[in-house]
Structure formats: structure tokens, C-alpha cells
Structure 1
């Protein structure tokens, strides 16, 4: 059944550590407020709600601290670079850095859950506080602990406990409760904070991000307001703690509230102090890091980018060849690209298709949406000629490069590279780099075998990439390493009856009828379970890196196959890596 620990072990450990930190911190704060003597009197009024609300608020601070870090691309790249040079930092640790966006989303779900519980708990707290102030006077009846707390005098002197200090008898109960809740700093800042988070969370769905990117971009930058509200939310000190426990012993005094007096012994009035704001200690560090991150991004985006060439490929794919002073890349890295004439705020990630050995860097972009269609036109791709001079074309800005999982392809003896459609781009860079390195007399790679799979929807998609495969294949044959590259191209659709007949007639030819390559094109979809089984049999005892760029559905299939066919007892071990932007 395979060994899931190979791919899931360290991820599970990190997840459990994070969940354990949340549970442990939640329990610690809950225990303090639920059983701490300094909070006994506020608990008497509010009940369990105050302990739950404060525990959730503490964990909100923890996760709000963490959620900024995964989107600091330069920080992630720095840690990945440190891991590259640190022998103690294994591949499995580096692979966790590639799950940064997944962790960012997981943190968002946790914040949503904590927010819901926090708000509900505080609703009950304010309802109890409002009822206590409105209906809790001692009057002519017996003196109870509740009414004594209600009638504590001298708000300025520190003896008051209930933050609600005026009545709304002329207003409906519900409106009065809401009004009392939002008047304090903690109230209105909490309302704004919650509404802002709901807007950010709801606009971050995949549909909004892909169809209305600018809506997503603008609303997600409300995080500035979110963190501003976090910083001020706790400054109101609305949940107060008792400061004179030594003079006013609650074990004794709670039973004799009718004897309380300013200087009475043994029960003088309890004195309460405002709660201290702690949120800033959690978030100030990540905020500073993020400001540094954005400063670096802005500085890089201002650097001049020279468009060397724009090449138009079939299937509405354009290749942008660029140069930028000081730009250094590795195979498999990606950049963020902006075209100011189209939009000043839209940055889009694209995998680099050039090799580090090239004197330029390039990306291949398929036209699939509004922005890429506008870029197609801005780059002159709608002209009749196939190759355009870039002198008079639209200006672009570049941020990067940034590391991805594909950087580790050279760390394995065997690699399985799977690209779907335009998802082949990271492997273009890798294969180009292999070709360049193989030209050197000192050529020696740890990587000894590459299984390359390309799943394409139509026949035109082969043309821009087949030349690279053909040259690499021929070169490896000349070097006596014909078995280095095992590539398999799958055509899932896009052929007509005439093409099918032509394919059949040329079946016995040495080269493929569509691609012109030695290895023949497969028709239909790969049977991944059988493919992984064969690869496992051919690579016993080896660590096999599986690298994928493409749709989520296929990623799930490959991930399951990697787990299923891995074995720690002498068999092949498949390490699954997926491109994440």
C-alpha cells in the first residue's frame, strides 16, 4: 500500500506542532481566565464566555502573527537558499517551504474559526454585562455578590468592574446591547476587524482570484486595516483583573458581600485594573518583515527590464526574452511579471523557461484570460510576422526570481517530471540547463535518469517545445546516454479523422507523425498507476523526485500514486513536489 510517511511525515509533524501550539496556548489562556483568582469577579458576571473569548483572542494573535510570513516570498527564498547550502537541512524540509501558500490558506481558515467563536462568546459576555448593569441593583432585597459588584462606586478610583456604565431604557433591548458593545475601543475595532477579515476571506476564493483579480488584490490589501485594528483592539482594557488580592481575599469576601466597604477589614472594596494590550508584541515583528519584503519588491520592480525578443508560438503562446542588470536565476525558478500599460497593480507569476547558462531569461505565456490577451496584443503578437523586435513594445517590470520545488530536481538520481499543457514551462528550463551542462567536458550530474511526461490538449501545443526535446535526445545519444531521457507525450484530444489516418499510415516510421521525435506520441490519458509501478521496478532502493506543474485534479492523482508506490524497505521512494505560486 506504499508508505505515506515519505511524503506526509514531516508535513504531518509540522501540522501537529502548529495545532499543538494553538491548543496548548488556548488551554493556557482559558485556564488563566477560568480559574485565576484575579478574574473571579468578572467571571461571576459573564460566566464561561470571558474565558473562551480571551483564549480565542490569544490564538488569533498567534495565527495573525504567522499568516504574514508565508507570503513573504523573499523570506521563503532566503530560507530555501540557506537549506541549499546547509547539509543538515534535508530535501524534505525544503519541500515544506513550497507549501507556503497552502499554509497561508490553512491559517486563514483557523482565523475564521477563532473569529466566529470569539465574536459569539463576546456577544454572550456583553449580554450578561448589560443585564447585570440594567437589572442587578441591590434595592431593598438581600445583598448578593452580583448586586454588590453592580453598585461598586467610583469608576475613576479603580473599583468599577462592569464596563457598561449607562442605561438604554428608552431603546429596544437588542439595539441597546449593540450600542453598548460598539462604543468602547474594543467594540468598534472588533467590528471593523471582523468585517474586514470577512471581506478578505470571501474575495480570496479561487473564482474571484481568477475572474476578478483586481477585486481580490484590492480587498486583500485591507490587511493593513486588519492589523491596524489588531493593534488598537486590546488597548481599551475592557476585561479587568483584580489587583488587591492580598487585601481582599475572594475566598472569604465572596461569601459576605454585605460587609464590603472602602476601608473595611477583612473585605475592603476590590480594586481592578485594565487589561494590558498584548497584540502588538505578536504582530509587530511580522509587520516589520513584511514592510521590508514590500520595499525589496518595489525596488526590484523599478529596475529597468530590456525586452530582447518576443516570439510568437502556436496555440497562442508567446515567449518573452528579457535582460535585467544583476539578474541571476536557477533552473525551475519563477518571476512575477507586470505590464504597466495594462495594469499598474497586477503581478502574475510565470516559470522561467530559459537556462542559467543563457545570456537572457525568458517566459512562455499562454493566452487564456483578459490580462494575457491584453499582453498578447501589447507585445505585437497579433502581427503577421512570428518574431517581433521589442524596441517599441510595452514596458514590463519583473520581480524575482523566486525558488520553487523544481530547484531540487538535480538533487535526485531519478526524476519524474510531469507537465500539463503550459505547465511544461519549468521543465523547459531544467532540460535546457541539462543540455548546456552536458556540453561541458566536466559534465557530471547526480541526476542519471529523467522520466518526462507531457499531457497536451491539442497537436499545436507540441511545436514550441519539441525542438528542445529533439536536440537533447540527439545529444545524449551521441554521448552514449540514450537512456538518460525517457519522454512520453500524451495527446488527450484535438485530432480529426484525417490526422488520425495520417498517424496510422506513419506508425512504422522512425519518427512520430506529429512531433517528429523518435518516441511516439500516446493518445488518451496516462495510466498513472501502471506508470509508477514500472518506474518503481526500474529504480529499486532509489529516491525518485516527482515534479509536477499543472491542474489540481491531476496533482492529487500523482500525489496518491507517489504515496502508494513508495517503500522504505528496499523499494523506490517517491518524493512528490508540486509547483506553487
Structure 2
């Protein structure tokens, strides 16, 4: 019967079945794939550019790859901290979807998912930047010998810092720590189990969860962006104003 002939047959060859599934996956998700590929490529390019830039500087002889990783991740953070705002600009997204040809190649309806992906990229960047500084750069400076410290005198002063607190109490230090704390709070309250009140916390603490907690904690990013500008202006290793991005 005709109806029986229309029933799809199961592909027995696993390679052909895999190729068919891949083909359908790309056909259904090609918009997401090219956007993510472009985003990842830009992040890798920015990281590599800044990594190699600091690898050629005198400070690399003292701090090694730690400083290059810290600066490379910081470069991706500058890009992503700007980009993450675009997917949640609803009026802009609506206009681009309805009044431009971009809607045919860009999945604007996935704006919130892309916002989350960028947030994940920011979390990775913050982790690499903070760990490289706190666990590698600062200890290496504290234990550097006089000859090793010589190339970085112009950045940190004639006298080598003698304790960890010296770095944390500086403008670059306390702004960085404050930003991390505020971002951890906002990230935690943005998780679905907090946002949708699915936690088994005591009644007094459960009031700190829910959509309102998620919404108002995201307003902490106003402070984060202000601190980000201050943090980037007072960075130790760049004294020229046009390098303070």
C-alpha cells in the first residue's frame, strides 16, 4: 500500500546514519553555528593578539606566561562585557529582526541563550584573569630577585612589593576583587534553581531567592561596569592613556 511505502526506513549503516543526523543538525542549526563560530573566533583572536603582545615585553621575563594569560583573558572580557548587553536590548533586537535582512541569517529569537553563552565566556575570562594574577603574577613578583625585578620597576616602584596586601589594597586590586564578588552574587541568583525558587533553603533565606532577587541582583552590574572602567584605567602595566582600554 502507498501508506506503507511512505513510512521511513531505518538506516542500517551507522556511518550513513551518522552523516544523515549531522546533515539535519546543520540544516536546523546553521544560524546558531555560524554566530557561535564567529564569536569564538573573535575571542580566540583577541586572546592570542594580547598574549603575543605581552610575550614580547620585558615584563614577560619576570612574570612569564601568567601575565600573557591574564592580559589575553582581559581582552576577551572587554569584548564580551560590551557584547553581552546587545542580546537583552529588546527594542534593538525587535527592530533588527523585523526591519533588516539580518533576521534571515541571525537567530535573534535565541537572544537569551546567546546572552547566557556570553556570560559563560565572561566567567571563563574572569577565572583565567583572576587566577593568573592572584596565584601566579603576584607571587612571582614578591619572590623576584633584585636583577629579575629591575625590568618592572617603572610599573611597581623602585622598592619591590614585600607582601600580598600591597597588590590587593591598590585601586586595581580592590576594584577587581569587588567586581568578582558582585558577579558571583549575580551569577548565583541567575541560576534556574534560585530564579524559580526551587531551593530547599530555610524560610528566612528563601526570601532572598526568586525572580525579584534575580532581577535586582543583575542591577549590580551597573556598579561592575563603573568599576571595570576604573580598574582598566589604573592597570599596573600600561602607563600611556591610549593603552588603558
What CA distance in whole angstroms lies between the structure 1 residues aligned with 2:84 and 2:90? 13
Give the structure with the higher percent helix.
2
The aligned residue for residue 201 of structure 1 is: 187
The aligned residue for residue 17 of structure 1 is: 38
CA shift in 2, pair 1:81/1:197, >3 Å: same
What CA distance in whole angstroms lies between the structure 1 residues aligned with 2:150 and 2:221? 43
The aligned residue for residue 239 of structure 1 is: 237
Contact 2:155/2:236 (<8 A) preserved: no
CA shift in 2, pair 1:122/1:274, >3 Å: farther
CA shift in 2, pair 1:164/1:230, >3 Å: farther
**In structure 1, the residue corresponding to 2:225 is in which secondary structure?**
helix
CA shift in 2, pair 1:203/1:164, >3 Å: farther
The aligned residue for residue 223 of structure 1 is: 221
Which of 93, 96, 102 is matched with 1:76 structurally?
Answer: 93
The aligned residue for residue 421 of structure 1 is: none
The aligned residue for residue 11 of structure 2 is: none
What CA distance in whole angstroms lies between the structure 1 residues aligned with 2:219 and 2:183? 11
The aligned residue for residue 526 of structure 1 is: none
What CA distance in whole angstroms lies between the structure 1 residues aligned with 2:156 and 2:211? 46
Determine if the alignment matches structure 1 residue 130 to structure 2 residue 128.
Answer: no
Contact 1:238/1:275 (<8 A) preserved: no
The aligned residue for residue 118 of structure 2 is: 107
Once the two structures are TM-superposed, the CA of residue 165 in structure 1 deviates from its matched residue by 4.0
The aligned residue for residue 243 of structure 2 is: 276
Which of 187, 190, 196 is matched with 2:173 structurally?
Answer: 187
Matches within 5 A, 1:417-566: none
The aligned residue for residue 128 of structure 2 is: 117
- TM-score, normalised to structure 2, is 0.79
Give the structure with the higher percent strand.
1
CA shift in 2, pair 1:69/1:166, >3 Å: same
Contact 1:50/1:121 (<8 A) preserved: yes
Contact 1:30/1:52 (<8 A) preserved: yes
What CA distance in whole angstroms lies between the structure 2 residues aligned with 1:11 and 1:125? 37
Once the two structures are TM-superposed, the CA of residue 6 in structure 1 deviates from its matched residue by 1.9
Greater relative contact order structure (CA < 8 Å, 6+ sep): 2
What CA distance in whole angstroms lies between the structure 1 residues aligned with 2:64 and 2:241? 19
Q: CA RMSD in A?
A: 2.2
Once the two structures are TM-superposed, the CA of residue 49 in structure 1 deviates from its matched residue by 0.9
Q: Deviations over 1:347-404 (max 9, x none)?
A: xxxxxxxxxxxxxxxxxxxxxxxxxxxxxxxxxxxxxxxxxxxxxxxxxxxxxxxxxx
Once the two structures are TM-superposed, the CA of residue 27 in structure 1 deviates from its matched residue by 0.5
Once the two structures are TM-superposed, the CA of residue 237 in structure 1 deviates from its matched residue by 3.3
CA shift in 2, pair 1:147/1:106, >3 Å: closer
Once the two structures are TM-superposed, the CA of residue 220 in structure 1 deviates from its matched residue by 1.0
CA shift in 2, pair 1:99/1:45, >3 Å: same
**In structure 1, the residue corresponding to 2:75 is in which secondary structure?**
helix
What CA distance in whole angstroms lies between the structure 1 residues aligned with 2:176 and 2:243? 16
Where structure 2 has 5 or more consecutive residues not aligned to the other structure, the ranges are 1-19, 198-209
Aligned positions, number: 211
What CA distance in whole angstroms lies between the structure 2 residues aligned with 1:8 and 1:186? 42
- TM-score, normalised to structure 1, is 0.34
What CA distance in whole angstroms lies between the structure 2 residues aligned with 1:148 and 1:18? 39
CA shift in 2, pair 1:55/1:164, >3 Å: farther
**In structure 2, the residue corresponding to 1:239 is in which secondary structure?**
coil
Which of 37, 52, 57 is matched with 1:31 structurally?
Answer: 52
Contact 1:203/1:215 (<8 A) preserved: yes
Greater Rg, structure 1 or structure 2? 1
The aligned residue for residue 503 of structure 1 is: none
CA shift in 2, pair 1:5/1:50, >3 Å: same
The aligned residue for residue 5 of structure 2 is: none
Where structure 1 has 5 or more consecutive residues not aligned to the other structure, the ranges are 138-144, 153-159, 169-175, 242-272, 279-581
Q: Deviations over 1:66-100 (max 9, x none)?
A: 101111111111101213xx4xx564x35x00000
Once the two structures are TM-superposed, the CA of residue 167 in structure 1 deviates from its matched residue by 5.4
What CA distance in whole angstroms lies between the structure 2 residues aligned with 1:147 and 1:101? 47
The aligned residue for residue 6 of structure 1 is: 27
The aligned residue for residue 527 of structure 1 is: none
Once the two structures are TM-superposed, the CA of residue 148 in structure 1 deviates from its matched residue by 4.3
Q: Deviations over 1:151-174 (max 9, x none)?
A: x6xxxxxxx243584655xxxxxx
Contact 2:96/2:103 (<8 A) preserved: no
What CA distance in whole angstroms lies between the structure 2 residues aligned with 1:47 and 1:163? 20
**In structure 2, the residue corresponding to 1:238 is in which secondary structure?**
coil
CA shift in 2, pair 1:80/1:163, >3 Å: farther
CA shift in 2, pair 1:149/1:54, >3 Å: closer
